[in-house]
Amino acid sequence: MVCAGMLLLLVIVFVISSVVGAQKLSLSGALCALTGKASCSLSAEERAILFDIRLPRILLAGAVGTCLAAAGAAYQALLRNPLAEPYLLGVSNGAAVGTMVALVFFGAHEWGRPVMAFGGAIAATFLVYRLARGRAGASPERLILAGVIVTTFLSSAIVFITTVMDATRIRSFTFWLLGDLSGTTSSLLTVAFIAAAVGVIALVMNARALNLMMLGERDAFDLGVEIGRVRLIVFAAASLLVGASVASSGSVGYVGLVVPHLVRLSFGSDNRLVIPAAAIAGATFVIVADTLARTVIAPRELPVGAITALIGAPLFVYLLKRGTAAVV
Amino acid sequence: MRSSRAALVGALQILALAFAATLSCSCSRPQLSSQTTATTHEVTDEAGRHVTLPVKIDRIVSLAPNLTEIVYAVGAGDRLVGRTSYCDYPPQAKSVTEVGDTLHPSVERVIALKPQVVLVSTASQLENFTRQLDEQKIAVYVTNPQSLDQVFASIEKLGNLFGKSDVAAKLLDDLRRRAKTVESATAPLKPVRVFYQVSDQPLYTIGRDAYLTDLIKRAGGISVTADVPTAFPRFSDEAALASKPDAIILPTGGSMGNANATVAPALKNSPAVRDNRVYKINDDLLSRPGPRLVDGLEQLARTLHPESFK
């Protein structure tokens, strides 16, 4: 029921964002074209603007939002840590390093980027997890510290790669690192959608186990949860989600932190609801942010990551102040 | 426990050494030659800053390739003591000491070269760096041309600063005459609607404040992004598609190598691509607002109006 309402909201946002843009299209014409009719009052290049440029970008924004929000929700539940988030854990930076290595060494192959990004994300995830596990198990503080260490280390690696790289390519990389949804290709879009679907389904299938693991790993074990297997699947699925989103759009920050918390504050912390709801809300959130990024100073553009942080942070503070306890 | 204490002692030793090194550096700071020059005068640079410069300048560091080209063109090349890794023209510039690239010059190297003036182009964002040089009492002179006339003015001013106004005047006579020839040929022609692609991914173009917008106009074209604020805006794909340019200019093949050699996806179906009017021009002639910009103007005009330049 909740998910149906949120899906409706997503559809509304999708339609609104596809009729606004740097280039004005007639409202009736655009709406008519969206329904799939060929005989609408749009010229050839208006159709091209709508279908070749605007729609792929909105679809990518949605996929990226879904990936990041679902991954954030999963990390928070699995690690029992409200601050666990792809960026704070260094997972995004791992994916970014993987993508850059792919671009430098196998620039020609479009599939190299997402594959290497996934590799980087999963390596960073397990590195952080191992670093965080002391003799007494992984405490929330140790986890965040480990994440900070891995994040800064990987940031230095990124700076190193951009510095030794060809100077003329640096500008496009720095822009990409800040999050850039423009100029997507159909194969990157396909990868992002497949990854989003596979990752979210894998997480939803483990949502009940995650609920039990939130009680504590011991209790979950006593209740019959195969902890090791669940952890492996959830880490792999979350890394897949983060890898796909970073490979296709760079680093769009704040989504994995803000969206799952908003969802929990609104609907409670049952992961069977939180994960799909975060996936839908994440898509909505990034689509709204990117629509602002491409329209506010049109025909110029803003980096979408700046918008997600600008909307996300105050919204988050407001909900915290309102007093609803954010229990993970 | 023991190992952590050893590590602590080691760290303290390193700190002590670093501290000692800092002290010795600050004691033996070299006297800079600019401070010993007797006669100075105050000039205003193109960012509106008041700069005190020696009347006779013998040591110049240039932090942009166009400025290096101007220094040589006005006959002061023998006084250039430092340049960036991008400064590759004229060829003899390559034998001058390198101080890093335009965005990350080494302040230490610049200071060690004891320049009396450091020439900076605002395009290369050097606020932080400028402050450090100011603290060292090394004058920083900023150029910021936004049209061909302002490029000529830069050349004239730099010629004056280096006591080479006669060489500069002769050079400018020639450059102005060539520009005039191009302009009188293109003036009666119908302007071609041009999209100037600075980079394809992400899409950057030229805006209101770019000298290239002016250059295209003189070459018998009109930039379809002439009204966009700022000089080099990050441009919307949708707006690029809707701009429907009749010609696309790709500055590439010079220092850029083969970067920016393909048309951005958003422009793939533009009239320019359909009519086969996508033109590559050596980026060194267009992206360096110096004497060779007139070569760029001539190439641009010949490219846009081949029938008028036979």
CB proximity A49 to B under 8 Å: yes
In which band, very low, low, confident or very high, does the pLDDT at B287 lie, cut at 50, 70 and 90?
Answer: very high
Q: Is residue B179 part of a domain?
A: no
By residue range, what is the domain housing residue B104? 33-144
> In Å, what is the CA distance from A13 to each residue of A8, A134, A221, B261?
9, 45, 42, 37
Nearest to B241 among A53, A183, A300 (CB): A53
Are A182 and B259 in contact (CB < 8 Å)? no
Choose one of B115, B144, B173: the last residue of a domain: B144
Q: Among B238, B241, B250, B269, which would you mutate to test the A interface (most chain A Cβ atoms within 10 Å of its Cβ)?
A: B238
Q: Are residues B134 and B195 in the same domain?
A: no
Residues forming a β-bridge with A138 = A133
The dihedral through the CA atoms of B19, B20, B23, B29 has a sign that is: negative
Within-domain flag for B164:
no
Can you tell me the mean pLDDT for A241-262?
90
Q: Report A:16-45 residues touching B (Cβ under 8 A).
A: 21-23, 45
pLDDT at A71: 96
Å from A202 to nearest chain B CA? 34
Domain count of chain B? Answer: 2
Residues B140 and B239 occupy one common structural domain: no
Please tell me the predicted confidence (pLDDT) of residue B1: 40
Both tokens assigned to B136? 């060292």
Q: Average pLDDT in the B212-240 region?
A: 93
Same domain, B215 and B284: yes
Residue A48 touches partner B, C-beta closer than 8 Å: yes
Residue in chain A closest to B258 (alpha carbons) equals A168
The answer to whether the beta carbons of residues B278 and B263 sit under 8 Å apart is yes
Counting DSSP H helices and E strands in chain B, the numbers are 12, 11
Per-residue confidence (pLDDT) for residue A135, from 0 to 100: 65
| Maximum mean pLDDT: which of A290-304, B150-164, B223-237 | B150-164
| Amino acid identity at A235 | F
A284: distance to nearest CA of chain B, Å?
21
Query: For a pLDDT cut of 70, what percent of chain B falls above it?
Result: 86
B5, part of any domain: no
Using an 8 Å CB-CB cutoff, list chain B residues near A22.
236, 238-239
Q: Is residue A202 very low, low, confident or very high in pLDDT (cuts 50, 70, 90)?
A: very high
Is B259 within 8 Å of chain A by CB? yes
Of B116, B144, B172, the residue at which a domain comes to its end is B144
B269 touches chain A (CB under 8 A): yes
Q: Which candidate from A54, A166, A172 shows the least CB-CB separation from B238?
A: A54
Q: What is the pLDDT at residue B185?
A: 95
Query: B228 and B137 in one domain?
Result: no
What is the least distance, in Å, from the CA of A182 to any CA of chain B?
8
| pLDDT at A245 (0 to 100) | 93
Reply yes or no on whether the pLDDT at B7 is more than 90: no
Q: Model confidence over B79-120: pLDDT tens digits?
A: 999 999 889 999 999 999 999 887 778 888 888 899 999 999
- If asked whether residues B121 and B225 sit together in one domain, one would say no
Asked if residue B155 belongs to a domain, the reply is: no
Categorize the per-residue pLDDT at B30 as very low, low, confident or very high, splitting at 50, 70 and 90: very low
The reply to whether B9 falls in a domain is no
The CATH fold of domain A55-321: ABC transporter involved in vitamin B12 uptake, BtuC (1.10.3470)
Per the structure block, which two tokens stand in for A130? 């191992």
Q: What is the pLDDT of residue B264?
A: 92
- B113 with B204, same domain: the answer is no
What pLDDT is recorded for position A179?
82
- Which of B266, B211, B192, B258 is closest to B234 using CA atoms? B266
Query: Could you please report the per-residue DSSP string of A118-177?
Result: HHHHHHHHHHHHHHHEETTEE-HHHHHHHHHHHHHHHHHHHHHHHHHS-HHHHHHHHHHH
Strands B204-205 and B192-199: antiparallel
Q: Do the chains contact at B203 and A166, CB–CB below 8 Å?
A: no
B29 confidence band (pLDDT: 50, 70, 90) = very low
What is the structure's pLDDT at B25? 41
The length of chain A, given as a count of residues: 328
Percent of all residues in chain A with a pLDDT value above 90, rounded to a whole number: 40
Which chain A residues are Cβ-neighbours of B242 within 8 angstroms?
23, 45, 49
**A/B interface, count of CB pairs below 8 Å:** 79
The Cα–Cα gap between A193 and A244 comes to 9
Contact criterion met (CB below 8 Å) for A191 and A114: yes
Residue A1 vs residues A6, A7, A267, B5, B306: alpha-carbon distances, Å: 9, 10, 12, 61, 67
Using the Cβ of A54 and the Cβ atoms of chain B, whether some distance falls under 8 Å is answered with yes
Chain B contact for A299 (CB, 8 A cutoff): yes
- B232 occurs within a structural domain: yes
Cβ contact (<8 Å) for B228 and A48?
Answer: no
**ipTM exceeding the 0.85 mark:** no
Residue B151 placed within a domain:
no
Q: Is the pLDDT of residue B8 over 80?
A: no
Q: Is the same domain home to B208 and B137?
A: no
Q: What is the pLDDT of residue B3?
A: 46
Instruction: Say whether residue B208 is in contact with chain A using an 8 A CB cutoff.
Output: no
The pTM assigned to this predicted structure is: 0.79
For A20-77, how does the pLDDT look when each residue is reduced to its tens digit (9 = 90+)?
888 888 888 888 888 877 777 788 778 888 888 899 999 999 999 999 999 999 999 9
CATH number at residue B47: 3.40.50.1980
- Tell whether B274 is covered by a domain: yes
Nearest-by-CA chain A residue for B228: A299
> Cβ separation of A45 and B234 shorter than 8 Å?
no
pLDDT one-digit tens code per residue, B167-188? 999 999 999 999 999 999 999 9
- Domain parsing of chain A, residue ranges: 55-321
Distance, in angstroms, between A299 CA and closest chain B CA? 5
Rounded average pLDDT over B130-134: 76
Residue A302 binned pLDDT confidence (cut-offs 50, 70, 90): confident
Quick one: which H or E segment has residue A212? helix A207-213
